[in-house]
Structure 1
Amino acid sequence: MHLAQINIGRLVAPEGDPRVADFYAGLDEINALAEASPGFVWRLIDGDTNNATSLRPFEGDPDMLINISVWESRDALFDYVYRSAHMDFLRRRREFFLPMGEVFTALWWIPEGHTPGIEESIERLEHLREHGPTPYAFTFRSAFEPQPAV
């Protein structure tokens, strides 16, 4: 089993605004760091760029960004998020993103080889918001182990 994750965020300003210039300028470096990290499997990209910032799956919310990725383990994702240079970027999130007021990250186990789609990922996030952490969707703080295939 691999670990999938979704995180979303609403930018403080649209692309091109100086308030988010450092965010966009750092994307290639952060994405390259993810791809070079032990345990990285896959990440969502839009096809035209090396990121997913042009994807806007939340109708009527053009400043909401989405990020989806797959990792070999919870530890691999945790190490990338909190124990790499990504943390320097993460510390600046309040400069680039508005407070969400609700859960904006969900984790779940997937079979190796599965690539989670946008709809599937959003559904996992919504499930976590509605039901709290379960084996279906959880957080780093309330993690579940992979369930054996039935």
Structure 2
Amino acid sequence: MMRPTDLHLAELNVGRLLAPTDDPRVAEFMAALDRVNGLGKRMPGFVWMMEGSGEPGKGNTETKIGGDSQYVSNLTVWESVETLENFVWNTVHRQFYERRQEWFEVLGSMHFVMWWVPEGHKPTLDEALERLDHLRAHGDSDHAFGWTYLKEAKLWRSRNCGGQAA
């Protein structure tokens, strides 16, 4: 699928921490949130990020999914596939992505989804979770998709870890 005109790329990534956010087992991840999120917001092509309370070191971890305080989410909008890929694979973000098993449970179902949104649209977490549910139920489509659906996703193909979701 090629990028439609006048649309931006939204992405949702959810994970379940191995321990509560104040537990030493996830301390290194929590300590890096502000740095990694701050870098993302300064990247060319970054448009918007769902934010938490703004309390240092919390990121968006206060936003609960299903009432579970260990489920954390990252919801962002980017100008293009290429700009999202650049952040994911060409910055310090990649180092934390490659170490995710140190802080996150392995989830039995897809936990990453992308979709196109009109310029200026800021998706809600409910909207994003609906897209994720759709992807889980129906696979890649124009409504909800993963990296494999995007022909222009080049860095993902060359730098990912065996085709797993980001």
Fold match by TM threshold 0.5: yes
Give the AA of the match of 2:79. Answer: E
1:20 aligns with 2:61: no
Distance 1:11 1:91 in 2: 15
Task: Structure 1: state its 5+ residue gaps.
Answer: 146-150
Aligned partner (choices 114, 120, 123) of residue 116 of structure 1: 123
Counterpart amino acid of residue 43 in structure 1: M
Q: Structure 1: which 4+ aligned runs deviate by more than 3 Å?
A: none
Note if contact 1:108-1:136 (Cα within 8 Å) is conserved in structure 2: yes
What is the aligned counterpart of 1:125 among 112, 128, 132?
132
Structure 2 residue aligned with 1:68: 75
Please list the CA deviations of residues 68-93 of structure 1 after superposition, one character each: whole Å capped at 9, or x if unmatched: 00000011001111111110111110
Counterpart of 1:95 in structure 2 is 102
Could you say which residue in structure 2 is the equivalent of 1:134?
141
CA contact (8 A) 1:39 1:77 kept: yes
Instruction: Name the TM-score, length of structure 1 as normaliser.
Output: 0.91
Q: Distance in 1 between matches of 2:122 and 2:75?
A: 10
Contact kept? 1:134, 1:144, Cα under 8 Å: no
> 1:68-120: CA deviations, max 9, x gaps?
00000011001111111110111110001000011000000000000000110
Segments of 5+ residues of structure 2 without an aligned counterpart are 1-6, 153-166
Report the Cα offset of residue 144 of structure 1: 7.1
Question: Which residue of structure 2 aligns with residue 58 of structure 1?
Answer: 66
TM-score (norm 2): 0.83
Measured in 2, the distance between the counterparts of 1:99 and 1:6 equals 17
Does the Cα contact within 8 Å between 1:135 and 1:144 map onto a contact in 2? no
Separation in structure 2 between the aligned mates of residue 113 and residue 28 of structure 1, nearest angstrom: 24
Aligned pair count reads 144
The 8 Å contact of residues 9 and 78 in structure 2, kept in 1 or not, is answered as yes
Letter in 1 for 2:63: L
